[in-house]
Structure 1
Amino acid sequence: MPVRADAPGFTQAVTQTVTPRWALAYAASLGFTAPACLDDAAPGGLAIPGPFCVCLEWALVGGDERAARLGLTAAERRRNVHVSQDSVFHRPVRPGMAVTTTSRIAHARQTSAGAFLLTRLDSRDAATGALLVTSWSGAVLRGVAFDGEVDAAMPSEAPAEPQPLAPGGEREVIATARGLPHVYSECARIWNPIHTERAVALAAGLPDIVLHGTITWALAGQAILRARAGGDVTRLRRLSARFRAPVIPGDSFTLHHAAAAEGVRFTALAKGGAVALASGLAVLG
């Protein structure tokens, strides 16, 4: 079924409590092994990596209510591909905090690959209303039509795509384990069988199970923090990238990054040289 033409403007909200168990599991699954990320008894408290925000957002972008509102069948839901993530970290998320996340579909259009949806998500401290994270999340429903304007303009409030990385800069090869998406799915609470069940991935037209784009994105941010901020996760202010070619679990990918006026630009190449992350930008404080 086509995505409904009135999808833009659809708004949801959910409040979730960030438990130490959830935050610790997320950090461990991605190798954020510094004591600040894994010691919840430390005097300064547990530091939760900024990319954890996608765990809070998944309840909305991957939830039943949104799928029903868009008019998606179960098979169409499995064709959802996360294609971009741009998150700005205003204040740290803390263990024990109740966080209210609000999502709004800001834009939808037809593309050659399928219906494209751009969603704005704001996460706030439920007790104070303080803004913690603002994210813009892009997704394509592969092979699913959009029953609205084909050439709808992007909303003016959406951030401009960062400039691509020029040749040069630092290079790092990042290894991934075959079981990483299985561990991450459970620790992050982000479930999509194309990442863990090979039969489902093959039926969806993929060559194999693939890493979540948010894994590659977070690992890129982690490597940049390690190279340029002593691994201090509290210094990450923004992390943005477009997700292109998939990374197969068990393969390594190569990260290139270089300092620029607006932050650290980066790109990542999958095995074989295909671009996995494009127009990447990390802003450090």
Structure 2
Amino acid sequence: MGNDATAERPDETQGAALVCMPERGNSRGTPAAVPDGTTFNLDRLGSWGARDRFEVDRARTIAYAAATNDPIRQHLDGVYAPPVFAVVPITVMMADAAMSVVPDDLMLRILHGKHDFRFHRPIEPGELLEVRARPVGIEGKSSGVVVTSHIETYSVRGGDLVNEQYFVGFFRGGRFDGARGEPSPAHSFEENLRDREPDFVTDQTFDADQTFRYARAAGDPMPIHLVDEFAKAMGLPGIIIHGLCTIAFVSHALITRISPDDPTRLKRLAVRLSSPAFPGQTITTATWAAGHRDGRDRYAFETSSDSDRFVIQDGLAEFEPAIDKETT
């Protein structure tokens, strides 16, 4: 499930953790046969699933900030939800969209491979959100099948698009020839950045009870994060940190260094989850300024653990430029 940080670049299909499992629906679509006899429901690609609504409770956004050791005052005070809280309203929906395409025998083999957040504005406590999801692409890899899903979150009152997310699920052991639909959004690390030292490096340490606090705040009770015996039965040395908890840690590591006074400047956060982290571990995020594109400041980053493994690779963050108050 992971690769040494000092090793060759790992297969991009590797994931960090199992995904919260939804109930399986009955809408399966028209199957497409592949060489090994399994079937994929390709007519689900591009089709939106049922909408759902989510009321944003201020106490829960504050609890999420606390559960991810978020130091940002606007998050701890409940002014804004932390950026990665955006996944809470759609956790089950994003996995269900991916699994609507694959055969039933692959359902329990899903790993969280990549995640790409596009923040149009922050989520505000007290608002009512409406969410929807659709699978948009599938691609066969040497070690499994990748399914990309697109999720949108809207404000019910204002009707505006609050955020978009691309969830890339990797199904271990599946077989599919070629690719259909849309590829997952690109955010590969630019290797020439390694010609210089990172612009800043941030160390963070997970608490011993991190997974239990995160599970309660996020509503993600997967036993691989909570039950040691279950994690060991899955071939791990013990319970692992939720991949999204790791992403949340990295989000506030970036914000506190780049835009500590205004967390809403973060407009995109994209990662590839490479291997799991564990309670008590220290992670180190190395960040490089990567230029300016489409009106945004870009930063590339990688996160490794103290066991010399990458936990996040191909990291990309985009921030709105800071406003110079003296010139406005």
Partner of 2:305: 270
Please say which structure displays the higher CA radius of gyration.
Answer: 2
- The one-letter amino acid paired with 2:309 is A
Partner of 2:142: 112
Structure 2 counterparts to residues 15-164 of structure 1, below 5 A: 15-40=53-78, 46-62=79-95, 67=99, 70-72=102-104, 77-143=107-173, 145-146=174-175, 149-152=176-179, 155=182, 158-164=184-190
* Structure 1 stretch displaced more, 204-213 or 15-24: 204-213
TM-score computed with the length of structure 1 as normaliser: 0.86
In the alignment, does 2:250 pair up with 1:220? yes
**1:281 corresponds to which of 316, 321, 324:** 316
Cα gap change, 1:47 to 1:111, in 2 (>3 Å): same
Secondary structure of residue in 2 paired with 1:260: strand
Backbone CA RMSD of aligned residues:
2.4
Q: CA separation in 2, counterparts of 1:236 and 1:201? A: 34
Gaps in structure 2 of 5+ consecutive residues: 1-36, 293-297, 321-328
How far is the alpha carbon of 1:110 from its aligned partner? 3.0
Secondary structure of residue in 1 paired with 2:104: coil
TM-score computed with the length of structure 2 as normaliser: 0.76
How far is the alpha carbon of 1:79 from its aligned partner? 3.1
**2:285 corresponds to which of 244, 255, 280:** 255
Q: CA separation in 2, counterparts of 1:279 and 1:271? A: 19
Secondary structure of residue in 1 paired with 2:220: coil
Gaps in structure 1 of 5+ consecutive residues: 41-45
Q: CA separation in 1, counterparts of 2:231 and 2:275? A: 15
Q: Deviations over 1:89-140 (max 9, x none)?
A: 0012111111111111111233333332111111111222200101111111
- Whether contact under 8 Å (1:175, 1:252) holds in the other structure is yes
How far is the alpha carbon of 1:164 from its aligned partner? 3.6
- The one-letter amino acid paired with 1:283 is E
- The one-letter amino acid paired with 2:208 is R
Cα gap change, 1:69 to 1:107, in 2 (>3 Å): closer
Residues paired across the two proteins, number: 273
Identity among equivalent positions (%) equals 23
Q: CA separation in 2, counterparts of 1:108 and 1:164? A: 25
Partner of 1:43: none
- The one-letter amino acid paired with 2:218 is A
